[in-house]
């Protein structure tokens, strides 16, 4: 298979994704649920925005020069990097930890990326990338998976797109009452919080509540919130490997101190349930990391945290956006395996 070379310089390496109302999920939650479909990005996840933004900036900063992109990733940032590198006509190397599945490895290789598998988790893979590979390549450009302002800037465009999309769907000028997302290293969360600050001051007049979800065994943000300081998990034990950053970014931790943000944790079984429900109710296949975002709709946590003190009628009028972040480390076979393991119908 030949490599793709663009005929003209790329202006943007991600797409504007649809926002759709979900009748089934609204019925389950008791309020109005809207799904922001980041799973439809070219690399199947929201990572395309931040990674694409950063790589496009780096390419423009080196016009005509040699650039080789290096990304350490649990999978989805690597896919975003490889997808963007193809569009830019530049080489890339992706370093992944050994826990990454062959399924994801093959996806990266099919995109033409050089893939190195090393380290027990992302932090060890990242250290190898920076200290060994990047240090030896003068043309190398480091693409971190979640901890850089250009990544947050890209992710913030999700919230920017919500302004006209919600208006078109009949939501008033006050904007959404809540936004739900997950957190791995914190790139998505930092972008969402940046976007909320910008759009609330310019358009909505109030800040929506942000509910951030992690899974047990990958809850580096929640552990930090509970401790009141940055915490490093001893190991990642969750099946939601895309959330597997032992330490959340400092920026994400700072955002967690805001009054309009709440951090919660769900089990792997609940995350699998969320993925299954999304298939059944919206015909969308996403990995367990994204299923964690969906779970609060069905386990009562959404009403518990975003509907405190509200009557059923008051809650029914609330508008909540779920960031369907996507993820490529999933197939029907993998999801069925999870269902059997956790007894999820």
pLDDT in tens, 179-216: 999 999 999 999 999 999 999 999 998 999 999 999 99
Average pLDDT, the chain: 92
Range of the domain at 55: 48-143
**What mean pLDDT do residues 301-322 have?**
97
Residue 5 lies in a domain: no
Tell me: pLDDT of 254 over 80: yes
Tell me: pLDDT of 158 over 50: yes
Tokens of 100: 């990454």
Tell me: pLDDT of 8 over 60: no
Tell me: pLDDT of 4 over 80: no
The percent of residues above 90 in pLDDT, for the chain, comes to 78
- Whether 33 and 158 share a structural domain: yes
- Whether 41 and 92 share a structural domain: no
Task: Classify residue 192 by burial, with Cβ atoms within 10 Å: 0-12, 13-18, 19+.
Answer: buried
Tell me: pLDDT of 101 over 90: no
Looking at 143, 175, 192, which one is the last position of a domain? Answer: 143
89: left (phi over 0), alpha (psi -120 to 50) or beta: left
Write down the pLDDT at residue 198: 95
Tell me: pLDDT of 137 over 90: yes
Write down the pLDDT at residue 10: 59
- Whether 171 and 30 share a structural domain: yes
Residue 313 lies in a domain: yes
- Whether 240 and 321 share a structural domain: yes
Containing H/E element for 33?
A: strand 32-37
- Whether 181 and 116 share a structural domain: no
- Whether 309 and 161 share a structural domain: yes
Tell me: pLDDT of 2 over 50: no
**What mean pLDDT do residues 316-329 have?**
95
Tell me: pLDDT of 290 over 70: yes
**What mean pLDDT do residues 6-27 have?**
85
Looking at 120, 143, 166, which one is the last position of a domain? Answer: 143
Q: Give the pTM.
A: 0.92
Cβ count within 10 A of residue 161: 17
- Whether 127 and 178 share a structural domain: no
Query: CATH number of the domain that 293 lies in?
Result: 3.40.50.1100
* Cα Rg of the chain (Å, integer): 19
- Whether 169 and 237 share a structural domain: yes
Write down the pLDDT at residue 74: 66
Residue 336 lies in a domain: yes
Tell me: pLDDT of 172 over 90: no
Length of the chain: 345
Phi and psi angles of residue 32, each rounded to the nearest 5 degrees, phi first: -85, 115
Confidence class for position 145, pLDDT limits 50, 70, 90? confident
- Whether 108 and 222 share a structural domain: no
Looking at 99, 127, 143, which one is the last position of a domain? Answer: 143
Residue 244 lies in a domain: yes
DSSP 267: -
Number of domains observed in the structure of the chain:
2
- Whether 121 and 74 share a structural domain: yes
Containing H/E element for 70?
A: strand 68-72
Bigger pLDDT: 253 or 144? 253
């Amino acid at each position: 298979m030949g490599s793709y070379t663009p005929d003209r310089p790329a202006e943007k390496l991600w797409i504007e994704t649809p926002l759709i109302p979900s009748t089934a999920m609204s019925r389950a939650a008791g309020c109005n649920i809207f799904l922001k479909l980041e799973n439809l990005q070219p690399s199947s996840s929201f990572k395309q925005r931040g990674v694409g933004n950063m790589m496009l900036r780096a390419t423009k900063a080196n016009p005509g020069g040699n650039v080789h992109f290096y990304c350490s990733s649990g999978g989805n940032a690597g896919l975003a990097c490889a997808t963007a590198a193809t569009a830019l006509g530049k080489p890339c190397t992706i370093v992944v930890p050994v826990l990454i599945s062959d399924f994801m490895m093959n996806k990266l290789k099919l995109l033409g990326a050089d893939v190195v598998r090393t380290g027990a988790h992302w932090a060890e893979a990242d250290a190898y990338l920076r200290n060994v590979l990047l240090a030896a390549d003068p043309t190398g450009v480091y693409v971190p998976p979640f901890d850089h302002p250009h990544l947050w800037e890209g992710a913030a465009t999700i919230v920017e797109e919500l302004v006209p999309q919600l208006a078109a769907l009949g939501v008033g000028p006050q904007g959404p009452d809540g936004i739900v997302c997950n957190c791995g290293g914190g790139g998505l969360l930092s972008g969402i919080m940046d976007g909320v600050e910008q759009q609330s001051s310019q358009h909505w007049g109030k800040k929506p509540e942000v509910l951030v979800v992690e899974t047990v065994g990958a809850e580096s943000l929640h552990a930090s919130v509970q401790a009141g300081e940055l915490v490093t998990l001893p190991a990642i034990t969750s099946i939601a490997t895309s959330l597997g950053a032992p330490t959340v970014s400092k920026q994400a931790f700072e955002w967690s101190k805001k009054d309009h943000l709440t951090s919660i944790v769900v089990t792997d079984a609940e995350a699998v349930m969320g993925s299954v429900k999304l298939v059944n109710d919206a015909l969308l296949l996403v990995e367990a990391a994204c299923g964690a975002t969906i779970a609060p709709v069905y386990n009562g946590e959404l009403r518990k945290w975003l509907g405190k003190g509200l009557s059923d009628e008051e809650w029914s009028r609330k508008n909540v956006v779920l960031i369907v972040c996507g993820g490529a480390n999933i197939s029907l076979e993998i999801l069925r395996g999870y269902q059997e393991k956790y007894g999820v119908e």
